[in-house]
Chains A and B, each alone.
Chain A
Amino acid sequence: MPGILRRILLVEDSSADAELTHEALLEYAVANGVDWVKDGAEALDFLFCRGAFEGRIFEPPAVILLDLKLPKIDGLEVLRTIRTTPHLRAIPVVVLTSSQEEKDLIHGYSHGANAYVVKPVDGAEFIKAVGSLGVFWAMVNAPPPALSPEAT
């Protein structure tokens, strides 16, 4: 879909983090547009166009920014489901989390994360980290060809 910017899916339970992420992407002129869901269950409903998102026409996001510690279904479980679903499998997923724990890093990568970013506490650093990863994944990176939900 050349010329059409794919949207970014942000899976983040904290409204403060969501707003900061949004602002950071704006600072870096990432114009893709952001869909924001607040927990793992909502993320999967969004991706599978079901529940509250029934009837949504599926479009693969340019990138999924995924927090790990989420209500209902946690981030790793969401990641596992994405990686085992044929039409979602190739979508880039960037884990965006507070956790620097080694076990989370290992799990993140072994479940198929394309990148793992620890949210910097410093405000300016946060804007830089999130803004530049948005530029890379949403604008520089060539996304995988879109597959329809019927693909196997």
Chain B
Amino acid sequence: MTNLRPLHAVTRAWRNRQGLLRADLEGQVEARTLQLREANRELQEFAYTVSHDLRAPLRHLEGFAELLSRNLEGKPGALDDKGRHYLNRITGASRAMGSLIDDLLTFSRLANQEMHATTVDLDRMFNSLREQLPPEFSLEIGALGKVKGDPSQLRQAFLELLTNAQKFSAPKPAPQGWVHQVGRRQERTIFEVGDNGVGFDPAFADKIFGVFQRLHPREDFEGTGIGLAIVARVIQHHGGDVWAESQPGEGARIFFTLESVEEA
């Protein structure tokens, strides 16, 4: 008890300590932010290099395969069916590689993109996206309302969802898709994009959101398998969740949550 300091001195010391701690914390946050920004810049440079330098050899592969086939065309018998088949394999493979690069690039750009959040009218957005789908695909759009989000990112995610719904229902005699509000979860609205297509084994329901994950052979359904990874990335950027339900042959339903904006 002999060492007892006056209360005001204790308070002052405590305040000083708090001040120092806060300054230290702010310094750390600033340093981390700088590091992150640097990492982001490096990633963007990497993506640029990938897009420019990896595309060139592919272009050469395809260009010379094309020249080879033109060169042989004028010479009867020079290229038989088997030869033509091999040439098609070469161009097919380099084209597939090209799409992989493009998709990876889209995906990595998305990771670095800043959010420009505003109010997005989902009814209007889905109705305009419908125009990009083939007319034989019947799409039912429920009342969706408005959400808070980045319009260009959401547009890209929704286009991926609708393209998937259309693609995987195309083998059905009457391909159908739908978009609905299906409930609330905490502060968020749950939306569903579904189709009556080929569906998938629910055991793989989490896998489908991975980069380049495919559940069907490329010969059956085109695409690199980046679509749902883009969807998941965008929805997570918006602080939402995304999940899927399906049974083989019974269509697929993709759910996601977004923050609704109530009409004034």
Binding site for B on A (CB under 8 A): 14, 16-17, 20, 23, 27, 69, 97-101, 119-124, 126-127
Q: Kindly supply a per-residue 1/0 record for chain B positions 123-155, scoring 1 wherever the CB is within 8 Å of any chain A CB and 0 otherwise.
A: 000000000000000000000000000000000
List, sorted by A's number, 8 A–B pairs whose CB atoms are closer than 8 Å: A14-B56, A14-B60, A98-B59, A100-B51, A121-B95, A122-B95, A123-B64, A126-B66
Shortest beta-carbon distance from A66 to chain B in Å: 15
Binding site for A on B (CB under 8 A): 48, 51-53, 55-56, 58-60, 62-67, 70, 91, 94-95, 98
Give the chain B neighbours of A98 by CB distance below 8 A: 51-53, 55-56, 59
- With the chains together, A100 CA to B64 CA distance in Å? 22
Shortest beta-carbon distance from A83 to chain B in Å: 23
Q: Are the CB atoms of B48 and A17 closer together than 8 Å?
A: no
Give the chain B neighbours of A27 by CB distance below 8 A: 70
Q: Are the CB atoms of A123 and B51 closer together than 8 Å?
A: no
- With the chains together, A126 CA to B94 CA distance in Å? 14
Shortest beta-carbon distance from A11 to chain B in Å: 15
Q: List the 10 closest A-B pairs by CB distance, nearest first.
A: A123-B66, A123-B62, A16-B60, A20-B63, A123-B63, A121-B98, A98-B52, A121-B59, A98-B55, A126-B63
From known contacts A17-B56, A20-B67, A23-B67, infer whether A121 and B51 are also in contact, taking CB-CB under 8 Å. Answer: no
From known contacts A20-B67, A23-B67, infer whether A121 and B52 are also in contact, taking CB-CB under 8 Å. Answer: no
Which among A98, A123, A126 has the highest number of chain B CB atoms within 10 Å? A123
Closest B residue to A21 by beta carbon equals: B63
Q: Is the interface of B mostly helix, strand, loop or mixed?
A: helix
Give the chain A neighbours of B66 by CB distance below 8 A: 123-124, 126-127
Q: Are the CB atoms of B59 and A119 closer together than 8 Å?
A: yes
Give the chain A neighbours of B51 by CB distance below 8 A: 98-101
Q: Are the CB atoms of A69 and B65 closer together than 8 Å?
A: no
- With the chains together, A111 CA to B95 CA distance in Å? 33
Give the chain B neighbours of A97 by CB distance below 8 A: 52
Q: Are the CB atoms of B67 and A121 closer together than 8 Å?
A: no
- With the chains together, A123 CA to B62 CA distance in Å? 5
Shortest beta-carbon distance from A61 to chain B in Å: 23
Give the chain B neighbours of A20 by CB distance below 8 A: 59-60, 63-64, 67
Shortest beta-carbon distance from A137 to chain B in Å: 20
User: Which of A16, A23, A121, A123 is B55 in contact with, Cβ under 8 Å?
Assistant: A121
- Known pairs A16-B63, A123-B62, A123-B66 / 10 extra A-B pairs, C-beta < 8 Å: A14-B60, A17-B60, A23-B67, A98-B53, A99-B51, A101-B51, A121-B55, A121-B95, A123-B64, A124-B66
Give the chain A neighbours of B91 by CB distance below 8 A: 123
- With the chains together, A16 CA to B67 CA distance in Å? 12
Q: Are the CB atoms of B62 and A121 closer together than 8 Å?
A: yes
Give the chain A neighbours of B94 by CB distance below 8 A: 121
Give the chain B neighbours of A17 by CB distance below 8 A: 56, 59-60
Give the chain B neighbours of A16 by CB distance below 8 A: 56, 60, 63-64
- With the chains together, A121 CA to B257 CA distance in Å? 38
- With the chains together, A101 CA to B67 CA distance in Å? 28
Shortest beta-carbon distance from B96 to chain A in Å: 11
Closest B residue to A68 by beta carbon equals: B52
Q: Are the CB atoms of A99 and B56 closer together than 8 Å?
A: no
Closest B residue to A23 by beta carbon equals: B67
- With the chains together, A122 CA to B92 CA distance in Å? 10
Give the chain A neighbours of B67 by CB distance below 8 A: 20, 23, 123, 127
- With the chains together, A97 CA to B59 CA distance in Å? 11
Give the chain A neighbours of B62 by CB distance below 8 A: 121-123, 126
- With the chains together, A26 CA to B32 CA distance in Å? 56
Closest B residue to A126 by beta carbon equals: B63
Shortest beta-carbon distance from A134 to chain B in Å: 15
User: Which of B48, B60, B64 is A101 in contact with, Cβ under 8 Å?
Assistant: B48
Give the chain B neighbours of A101 by CB distance below 8 A: 48, 51
